[in-house]
């Protein structure tokens, strides 16, 4: 161990050494307990402890806490250290308080008084320690207690510079937790004028604070623009020798420059004053000029600092988008970085050029670098740089270079990284549609996409090509011919089969005159792919076959034979059986005229914005230009039922149904806002606070006078409003891991008066506690008007149980005693771990759990009209793993999971079988423990 010098605490060093030398966890715990007992006895027995000894023991407690052990004493001794005049003792006291003292502690008033004393001290070190403590705690109580002192310290002429720096950063920390702490009026001007301070450290800290204030209230702080431009100009034009203390590798004040440039980006336009705008443009030109100068140092720190300022300046130029000269210069500068050795610089250059490509002033300049960008897409070693090159090609594309860029992206797609293929497919599809002058080219591009990267072609893409072909008569024959040729390939992707089935079912007659694509040839070609496809695609092909009977009566017998084969047990899928049976009867019973009416061509889809762009925006929010593809409206299929029979089977019902639901994609950008709360008066404030904490905005009852209590919904969710009436709102937020759980209960007072004698009590019998051990922390007895408090609970599942604990809440409201009970959302399913398994493993396990005691089954009527997607969502929230493509019937839902208890792990399987005709469900639970099957079955049987 190194020798201890000066003010070093030898006892602390020895203790740390002992801990490090422990050979086992038990030895470490034993040594810690011994030390805790020693410290406790010293604090209780020895009233003459000096500051050094208190500091040493408090340090030991801090170290023990950092090792993960709870500390429940020593707080008063730490508070006593705050009154010391020695820096080291005061520092340790503040450190202990920052880390270990709860804001609800009884000692908080003493702490606040000690901090106030230090804030008034003439010793700047003591003032800084106090400010750091306030910022570290950063609570609303701290903000309210020091809302007057800290702003005064910040703007006072007597305050030392180092204290002003700390005051600005402390105020920024408190502003983030309590935005109302910053006074307005004359204070605004005084804070803004800190940008003129002589001390660069004060200006740097003040810029961070002002940037946060501007984001919240830009109009009030607009006066900062002139001062920021002036200060930035002085920094940029200064020699590195003028700002020696703030020069970093020959770059004057790079961090402050970056902060000022970001501050100016909060306004657009930055300024309306011609003189200020001219000075800003001159400053930006100076930054661009300096980037062209030879480096003053070969060290990487110099280039990093210089480029940081340059890129932020370019961001400001792009943000303003009003100076053609600066935009062109910025583009040329970025073009030089495309060939730089530094990967990060190439990435940043590509990213900035993506934004420049959207400006009318610099778009043509960006296009000059097209060849280099294509080379980057193909040759870069770093996949993130290649992806950024793809983004730039997408952004720079226009009618003049669309075909070349799309072809290059298609060529690269064959060898592209799997991580970027899906996004590339979407971008190629959007570009091909937006800039197609000839829709035969568009059809070729999409079919090439499916051939090259079929697995990454989303449903929206192949829906889209079908929409366009149906809406444009001139391309229908070409599309049928091209897709017929594509289907002749030995290996054909399933998406190609879907497109082929749909288009040939509608327009196969346009190519039937050629003997090479005669009706029977078309039918045999499609049917040769049938056995390789999923049930969904098979259903689409059966719809194509019934269309063929209308288009080509001469092959009716061939198609009817296929329908006969698939209308019986040869097809394990009930949907396919039913579809084949109905189509067979339709082809036998219906006359030619009836068939022609029922199986008429799909009508044109109404024009609307492309859903593919919405998908891309969802994948890359903020990276897709907002004006993309606006002029090329996306057809959306009609959802009419003008001919019920026609639309029951009309041309590929699988695709039709999904296309009809494409309004579901209307909010793919995630921009919808929840309905506004209509709770009146002050209640709305407390309501919104609680709801914001819980993230359960949509589920809130807006009627303040109605009591809301629905614990059943928490079977499928962990967060939300558990109970609400006109006085109280109780929210819950919980998390679970294996057999352990943690709940936070949020009690919100919705009234104008305090709720006194507030006392939640756990109602859980001793016998039940042996199965589920629940511990609940106490809360304050008074819940102030409009306030909210949190209560933490921990739960440990020891063995499976049937019921859930209850809390009884009592309080006095306006002198009247109130009491009610609420069941906690702690059902046994909360301790599920989802389990993945394939069909073979599932049914093997299902068969093994076939004993009478291992299964439970219920058949029940659906509580509401059968909602299979809703049932799937509920099962996904129940805690088990919903297994897709396991059950032969796609309507059936199967799940698997393991319930973790302290004593054992209980495997559990679930099968939910809906009967659409009878509007009923059959629920079967199989588990390795009898009691679990019955409990899970009872929990779920009334939920669908």
Q: Give CA–CA dist 937/926, Å, rounded.
A: 9
Q: Give CA–CA dist 93/81, Å, rounded.
A: 5
Residue 56 is assigned to a ligand binding site: yes
- Residue 344, C-beta contacts closer than 8 angstroms, at least 6 positions apart: none
Per the listing, tokens 């003053």 go with 296
What is the three-class DSSP state of 549?
Answer: helix
Q: Give CA–CA dist 423/417, Å, rounded.
A: 11
Q: Give CA–CA dist 320/267, Å, rounded.
A: 9
**Could you say which DSSP state residue 892 is in?**
-
Residue 42 is assigned to a ligand binding site: yes
Q: Give CA–CA dist 203/413, Å, rounded.
A: 50
Residue 864 token pair: 């509401």
CA distances from 258 to 211, 307, 313 (A): 12, 10, 8
Q: 788-797 and 772-776: which strand pairing?
A: antiparallel
Q: What is the DSSP annotation of 852-871?
A: GGGEEEEEEE-SSS--HHHH
Q: Give CA–CA dist 926/856, Å, rounded.
A: 7
Q: Which of 187, 107, 111 is closest to 147 using CA atoms?
A: 187
Residue 853 token pair: 């005691």
Residue 138 is assigned to a ligand binding site: no
Per the listing, tokens 């860029």 go with 405
Residue 10 is assigned to a ligand binding site: yes
Q: Are 168 and 208 in contact (CB under 8 A)?
A: yes
- Residue 98, C-beta contacts closer than 8 angstroms, at least 6 positions apart: 132, 133, 136, 137
Q: Give CA–CA dist 558/540, Å, rounded.
A: 18
Q: Give CA–CA dist 318/23, Å, rounded.
A: 60
CA distances from 449 to 116, 459, 504, 613, 826 (A): 69, 13, 19, 17, 50
Q: Are 753 and 814 in contact (CB under 8 A)?
A: yes
Q: Give CA–CA dist 97/781, Å, rounded.
A: 25
User: Of all helices (H) and strands (E), which one includes residue 57?
Assistant: helix 51-66
Q: Which of 747, 738, 736 is closest to 694 using CA atoms?
A: 747
> What percentage of the chain's residues is helix, strand, coil (to nearest 5)?
55, 15, 30
Q: Are 214 and 260 in contact (CB under 8 A)?
A: no
CA distances from 350 to 343, 379, 395, 399 (A): 11, 14, 11, 21
Cα three-residue angle 503-506-511, rounded to 5 degrees: 75
Q: Are 748 and 788 in contact (CB under 8 A)?
A: yes
Q: Are 129 and 162 in contact (CB under 8 A)?
A: no
Q: Which of 319, 306, 191 is closest to 257 using CA atoms?
A: 306
The CB-based long-range contact list for 700-703 (8 Å cut-off, 24+ gap) reads 700/724, 702/675, 702/677, 702/678
CA distances from 284 to 209, 261, 310, 312, 323 (A): 24, 10, 9, 10, 11
Q: Give CA–CA dist 586/580, Å, rounded.
A: 10
Helix crossing, 343-356 with 324-337: angle to 10°? 150
Q: Which residues are annotated as a binding site?
A: 10-11, 42, 52, 56-60
């Amino acid at each position: 161990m190194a020798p201890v010098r000066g003010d070093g605490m030898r006892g602390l060093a020895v203790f740390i050494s002992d801990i490090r030398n422990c050979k086992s966890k038990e030895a470490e715990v034993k040594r810690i307990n011994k030390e805790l007992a020693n410290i406790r006895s010293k604090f209780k027995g020895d009233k003459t402890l000096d500051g050094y000894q208190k500091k040493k023991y408090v340090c030991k407690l801090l170290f023990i806490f950092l090792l993960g052990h709870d500390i429940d004493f020593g707080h008063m001794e730490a508070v006593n250290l705050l009154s010391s005049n020695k820096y080291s003792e005061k520092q340790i006291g503040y450190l202990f308080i920052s880390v270990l003292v709860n804001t609800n502690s009884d000692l908080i008033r003493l702490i606040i008084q000690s901090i106030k004393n230090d804030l008034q001290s003439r010793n700047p070190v003591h003032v800084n320690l106090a400010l750091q403590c306030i910022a570290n705690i950063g609570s609303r109580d701290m903000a309210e207690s020091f809302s007057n002192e800290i702003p005064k310290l910040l703007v006072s002429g007597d305050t030392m510079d180092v204290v002003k720096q700390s005051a600005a950063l402390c105020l920024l920390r408190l502003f983030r937790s309590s935005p109302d702490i910053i006074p307005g009026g004359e204070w605004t001007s005084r804070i803004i004028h800190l940008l003129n301070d002589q001390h660069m450290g004060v200006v740097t800290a003040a810029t961070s604070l002002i940037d946060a204030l501007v984001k919240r209230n830009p109009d009030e702080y607009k006066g900062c623009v002139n001062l920021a431009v002036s200060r930035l100009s002085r920094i940029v034009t200064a020699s590195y020798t003028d700002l020696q203390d703030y020069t970093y590798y020959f770059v004057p004040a790079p961090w402050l420059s970056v902060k000022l440039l970001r501050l100016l980006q909060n306004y657009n336009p930055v300024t309306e004053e011609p003189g200020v705008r001219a000075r800003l443009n001159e400053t930006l030109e100076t930054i661009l000029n300096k980037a062209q100068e030879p480096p003053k140092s070969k060290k990487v720190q110099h280039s990093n600092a210089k480029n940081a300022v340059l890129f932020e300046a370019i961001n400001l130029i792009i943000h303003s988008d009003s100076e053609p000269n600066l935009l062109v210069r910025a583009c040329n500068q970025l073009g030089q970085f495309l060939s730089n050795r530094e990967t990060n610089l190439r990435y940043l250059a590509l990213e900035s050029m993506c934004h420049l490509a959207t400006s009318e002033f610099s778009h043509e300049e960006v296009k000059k670098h097209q060849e280099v960008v294509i080379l980057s897409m193909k040759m870069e070693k770093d996949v993130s740089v290649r992806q950024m090159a793809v983004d730039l090609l997408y952004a720079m594309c226009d009618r003049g270079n669309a075909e070349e860029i799309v072809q290059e992206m298609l060529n690269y797609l064959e060898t592209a990284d799997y991580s970027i293929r899906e996004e590339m497919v979407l971008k190629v599809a959007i570009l091909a549609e937006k800039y197609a002058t000839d829709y035969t080219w568009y059809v070729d591009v999409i079919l090439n996409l499916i051939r090259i990267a079929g697995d990454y072609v989303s449903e929206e893409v192949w829906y889209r090509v079908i929409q366009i072909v149906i809406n444009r008569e001139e391309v229908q024959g070409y599309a049928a011919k091209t897709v017929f040729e594509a289907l002749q390939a030995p290996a054909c992707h399933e998406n190609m089969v879907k497109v082929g089935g749909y288009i040939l079912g509608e327009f196969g007659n346009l190519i039937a005159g050629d003997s090479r694509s005669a009706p029977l040839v078309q039918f045999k070609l499609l049917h040769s792919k049938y056995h390789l496809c999923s049930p969904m695609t098979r259903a689409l092909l059966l719809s194509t076959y019934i269309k063929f009977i209308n288009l080509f009566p001469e092959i009716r017998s061939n198609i009817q034979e296929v329908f006969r084969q698939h209308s019986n047990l040869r097809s394990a899928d009930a949907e396919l059986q039913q579809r084949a049976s109905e189509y067979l009867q339709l082809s036998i019973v219906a006359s030619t005229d009836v068939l022609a009416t029922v199986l008429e061509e799909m009508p044109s889809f109404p024009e609307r914005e492309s859903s593919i762009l919405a998908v891309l925006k969802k994948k890359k929010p903020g990276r897709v230009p907002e004006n993309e593809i606006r002029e090329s409206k996306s057809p959306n299929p009609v959802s009419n039922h003008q001919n019920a029979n026609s639309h029951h089977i009309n041309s590929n019902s699988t695709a039709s149904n999904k296309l009809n639901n494409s309004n579901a994609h209307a909010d793919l950008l995630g921009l919808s806002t929840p309905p506004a709360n209509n709770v009146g008066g002050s209640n709305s404030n407390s309501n919104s606070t609680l709801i914001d904490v819980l993230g359960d905005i949509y589920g809130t009852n807006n009627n303040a006078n109605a009591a809301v209590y629905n614990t059943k919904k928490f079977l499928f969710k962990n967060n939300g409003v558990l109970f609400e009436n006109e006085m109280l709102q109780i929210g819950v937020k919980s998390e679970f891991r294996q057999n352990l759980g943690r709940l936070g209960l949020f009690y919100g007072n919705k009234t104008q008066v305090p709720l006194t004698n507030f006392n939640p009590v756990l109602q859980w019998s001793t016998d039940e506690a042996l199965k589920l051990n629940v511990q609940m922390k106490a809360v304050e007895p008074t819940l102030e008007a409009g306030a909210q408090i949190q209560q933490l609970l921990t739960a440990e599942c020891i063995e499976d149980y049937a019921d859930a604990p209850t809390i009884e809440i009592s309080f006095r409201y306006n002198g009247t005693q109130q009491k009610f009970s609420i069941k906690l959302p702690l059902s046994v399913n909360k301790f599920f771990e989802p389990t993945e398994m394939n069909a073979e493993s599932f049914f093997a396990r299902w068969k093994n759990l076939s004993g009478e005691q291992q299964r439970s089954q219920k058949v029940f009527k659906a509580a509401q009209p059968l909602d299979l997607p809703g049932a799937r969502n509920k099962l996904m929230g129940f805690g088990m793993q919903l297994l897709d493509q396991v059950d032969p019937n796609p309507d059936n839902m199967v799940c698997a999971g393991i319930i973790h208890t302290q004593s054992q792990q209980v495997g559990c399987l679930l099968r939910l079988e809906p009967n659409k005709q009878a509007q009923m469900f059959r629920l079967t639970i199989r588990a390795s423990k009898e009691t679990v099957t019955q409990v899970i079955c009872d929990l779920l049987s009334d939920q669908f």
